[in-house]
């Protein structure tokens, strides 16, 4: 016979990590639905957004800025390069380093996707009363900032 643990924290719905994982799943699903025409993932769009604001970054800097594992950034950049969204050039300062920039097509897609991405964000937050959305975002930001050092890919 298997023992059943019935403590106040035994239910998954009582665990913040479980709820955060579920929220992430829901958000990704909404993003993919709103942005389906572009066939890009939230992580790919994050890299594109970083490059739209800071062109000519190296892989390590992109990883740090977007809080994505460096290995994953390499894969994302390769996929975006294959699609003609990103181009990479050898750094004039350090020939071992490649710098990434959005192509003209990549810049256009990044700009065009903004409305679809915003619809996903709005849908995601819509269940909260309008006057509590800012509070929710501030609490999320506080948790992320306070726990940043524990991440496998800490943000700057």
Mean pLDDT over residues 36-40, rounded? 97
Mean pLDDT of 37-64: 97
SS (H, E, C) the chain: CCCCCCCCCCCHHHCHHHHHHHHHHHHHHHHHHHCHHHCCCHHHHHHHHHHHHCCCEEHHHHHHHHCCCHHHHHHHHHHHHHCCCEEEEECCCCCCCEEEEECHHHHHHHHHHHHHHHHHHHHHHCCCCHHHHHHHHHHHHHHHHHHHHHCCCCCC
For residue 134, pLDDT over 90 is answered with yes
Query: In the predicted model, is pLDDT for residue 15 greater than 60?
Result: yes
Q: What is the pLDDT of residue 7?
A: 62
Structural domains present in the chain: 15-132 (1.10.10.10)
**How much of the chain exceeds pLDDT 90, in percent?**
83
pLDDT of amino acid 156: 78
Average pLDDT of the chain is 93
> pLDDT tens digits for 98-130?
999 999 999 999 999 999 999 999 999 999 999
Per-residue pLDDT for 50 more than 70?
yes
């Amino acid at each position: 016979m298997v023992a059943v643990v019935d403590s106040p924290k035994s239910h998954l719905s009582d665990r913040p990590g479980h709820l955060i994982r579920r929220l992430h799943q829901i958000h990704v699903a909404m993003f993919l639905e709103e942005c389906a025409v572009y066939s890009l993932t939230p992580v790919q769009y994050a890299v594109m957004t970083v490059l739209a604001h800071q062109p000519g970054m190296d892989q390590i800097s992109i990883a740090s800025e977007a809080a994505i594992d460096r290995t994953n950034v390499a894969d994302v950049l390769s996929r975006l390069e294959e699609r003609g969204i990103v181009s990479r050039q050898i750094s004039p300062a350090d020939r071992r380093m490649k710098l990434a920039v959005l192509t003209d097509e990549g810049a256009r897609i990044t700009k065009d996707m903004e409305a679809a991405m915003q619809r996903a964000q709005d849908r995601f937050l819509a269940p909260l009363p309008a006057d509590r959305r800012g509070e929710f975002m501030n609490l999320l930001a506080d948790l992320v900032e306070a726990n940043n050092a524990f991440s496998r890919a800490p943000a700057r």
